[in-house]
Chains A and B, each alone.
Chain A
């Protein structure tokens, strides 16, 4: 039996024979590398394919464009706005749903546990309360983790890396399906209620994107419903634009930051941007936060008040003592440095953990068990901290939702419990706004330490949950500690409100972990509702990013890399000008002739060893004197539709075809084209011919062999291509450059590195 690699080697050898003109062959390359290696970060997975952002300008497309008149294009423009409004409304509603359900379920859980603790404090037997808390957490998280692990693994995590990849042009399987949305929403609710160190804000971005992708298509393949609307938008380019709007709407609903949402989409998400899109995306964001605001204010009983613009409200920072003076700016910058270092530490720890998880904990049941253990340990750590804490604060005048008395005197509550015995969102707001003296430094120190490790351990579990809130919480805790110690050190001469430092710490920590700059500044500014904080927050985030980037890259980029996604950054690696298209491309290329035998097409498509998606079409000249020049490019999906509709030359001649194929037939099959195995082609039909000239893209982008890698990269990246044909000077196809060919060059620590392709 031949292993795939030996097959490939044979393929390469035969390739050598065929292409005599290529003299530098693989001769001295040491190939002793094992075929099976443990997972590492220098791999590219074959699982991921590109999206087709390049419009196929075939004859069908031209016909359709001729048919649609000018007025119809205007309605298309109006439809875009309608879709954006709907994206905003639905995203807002989903956010409301998550918020309300989490509030109620978490409230129920904390009440049950609190009653239990109160009962056992008097009688003894607190270990039962601990067990109750741990079991409740673990069982809720078990459900949340099970639906993710067994039903839709792509819903795990915050979803921001996935959306980032999607907007970059990588097709992540299942990422924008309705099923994913349902699992994501339920998963978020369950993991927050389960008391994990997670937030519900990050997943909103993913949810918004799925909603956008769903609405813009006017149908759901999961539900098998087609509303027959928005058919014009059924292609990757249009969908991508709406998905960026959805991501923005998600951020906007999560933080009540519409401008921040647009900028997030611009900075983190969209790799492709156009000016008109900005205004539409802003519209979607505004609608989203407004919907959330109005629905939540009705829910809270003060309609028309519009006081809760986001899932998390940082509260108002406008009192006088919250202001800052110019002398404090160096202090803020120092906090940025601390945030950068801590963020880098967080990322480095999470990197090792994720690597371990990918290598060893890959079975779904193990993942569920791990999530349950984390939940139980989180509860235990919280309980032990509360148990050991002797930091009691008077209950009067404080706004603690679930005051736990435990060993405090009557009428007092345990201050550690406000931090641990609460949903993370509430804890963040408490840390920002509780009056000075609500926490003693010991409590804050222990809390920061514990929560840092818990959050780091939690991110990357098979639950859907975000990292925004835990980061903010860690930062707010050490920031507040910093503020308190500052006023100690200076003997109260800077008697500043520690809440201000908590805010800066939160910004620094979040910036140190995710390394966002512009959008995070604006999000924090909008969430605090204070424009004057813009300057210190910007400085803090800037320092955090600079310091953090010195050590290790951002969390999302790290996870994208660990998932072996062929992600294309803005620029090619700087030292890669000596590489040419010849070395980058894959060769030989499977080409189709313009009029091709059906049997050949079916065989090529069914070949599992070469799962190609684009095929250059060459002139089908029977005499060999002429060179087979490149005529066009056809995609696998188009071929499948053609085979399905049996558009064969012979049938056309016999007038068997009822109607001509239209662009609509291709759109109806989008985005889930049937696999080749499901298409039945009889033995007779295999002998038929198929004429591709009507359907292929007659003008694919090509580059000469001598083009340098940065040049190829720029073309590929800027146009969002999927296939780039390399031709020689006779217009003969020499090779094909795809995303994986470009993404494998990366600037590592020692210079240019080449990643290997791997089956995952």
Chain B
């Protein structure tokens, strides 16, 4: 009887849904029945999920919570790929086992079907899609090894250099008072120039390698960690420390450009003055000139 009642309620609900809105009576009956069931203390979640599936789902939920936490905590400064790739890999595996798992009871009761596709929302699929998209957008595959177990060598090297330059910045800043005017970071600029240049070169090198490897031009970014690290360093370097002072040689540029801009004027003037103007030789047409046509044309001219 415990099994039968909910089944009856379900059947009634289904009936109401299929028969249509006119049969409101059946619907009301079904609702009443469901409420009765609920008040009778029967379990709300109907026994459609097998225990194995339920455990898989729970594992997925925990995994996604962990990954979300990791992503959130590593959002600034960006350390997503370095710190969360384990979580991500685990989650992928969990999702894979859900998608593959087949409940042992019958064909219709496999976990993939009941977890992934049996409702409109399909929250598990949505979640996993979200994580995949985020991972793709962050381009993390770019700085992980091919089997995505840990960071690739070049990334390690880059991060080492990055840390080194950060320590260099810190060391050199410690010697000075904190409230120095922003122009006075010359010490940093002088001492850390070498590491910074190395870092910059390595980054450019990585970018070039990536661009050559990637099939279509500039769409292939480096992974977000590396990009962000470089970005922070560059900002510190050129905005905060004001270390990159390009030589602005305005005077020669103005001289050269005004020389070039001056050339066409000379050219046009000289061709106007010296070149012989092209003359057209008029050909007198062979035709009868009647008064009528003359009047016609000249009238219009006057």
Q: Residues on A close to B: CB < 8 A?
A: 4-5, 8-9, 11-12, 15, 22, 24-26, 28-29, 31, 33-39, 43, 46, 121-127, 130-131, 134, 300-302, 356, 358-363, 366, 369-370, 373-374, 376-377, 380-381, 383-384, 387, 394, 396, 399-401, 406-407, 409-411, 575, 578-580, 582-588, 735, 741, 748, 750-754, 756-760
Contacts and interface: CB of A to CB of B under 8 A. Distances in A.
Contacts of A8: 283-284, 286
Contacts of A410: 200, 234-235, 237-238, 244
B227 interface: yes
Contact of A301 (B215, B279, B280, B285): B215
Interface in B275-290: 275, 277-290
Interface residues of B, number: 56
Contact of B246 (A22, A37, A407): A407
The 6 closest A-B pairs by CB, nearest first: A751-B300, A124-B247, A410-B234, A409-B238, A127-B252, A411-B234
Nearest to B272: A360
Given A384-B253, A399-B218, A752-B300, A409 B234 contact: yes
18 contacts: A8-B283, A8-B284, A123-B247, A130-B256, A360-B278, A373-B267, A399-B219, A409-B239, A410-B235, A411-B238, A578-B292, A578-B296, A586-B286, A735-B287, A735-B288, A750-B301, A754-B297, A760-B280
A376 B260 contact: yes
A753 B301 CA distance: 8
A37 B282 CA distance: 7
B280 A43 contact: yes
Contacts of B289: 24-26, 29, 583
Given A366-B275, A374-B264, A410-B238, A126 B282 contact: no
A337 to B, nearest CB: 31
Contact of A401 (B216, B218, B230, B264): B218
B286 A300 contact: no
B65 interface: no
B278 A376 contact: no
Contacts of A394: 231
Nearest to B253: A127
B255 interface: yes
Contact of B216 (A26, A125, A300): A300
Interface in B154-187: none
A141 to B, nearest CB: 14
B108 interface: no
Contacts of A370: 264, 267
Given A122-B247, A407-B246, A582 B290 contact: yes
Interface of B: 200, 215-219, 227, 230-231, 234-235, 237-239, 244, 246-249, 252-253, 255-257, 260-261, 263-264, 267-268, 271-272, 275, 277-294, 296-297, 299-301
B235 A411 contact: yes
Contacts, number: 201
A606 B56 CA distance: 100
Given A38-B280, A373-B267, A409-B244, A127 B231 contact: no
Main secondary structure of the interface of A (DSSP, over half): mixed
A12 B286 contact: yes
B247 A750 contact: no
A360 B290 contact: no
A747 to B, nearest CB: 9
A74 B31 CA distance: 76
B112 to A, nearest CB: 31
Given A125-B249, A411-B230, A46 B277 contact: no
B205 to A, nearest CB: 14
A401 B280 CA distance: 49
Nearest to A127: B252
Contacts of B257: 130, 380, 383-384
B200, B219, B263: most-surrounded residue (chain A CB, <10 A): B263
A434 B195 CA distance: 34
Contacts of B296: 578-579, 752
Given A399-B219, A584-B287, A741-B285, 9 more contacts: A29-B294, A43-B280, A125-B252, A126-B248, A366-B275, A409-B234, A410-B200, A583-B292, A751-B300
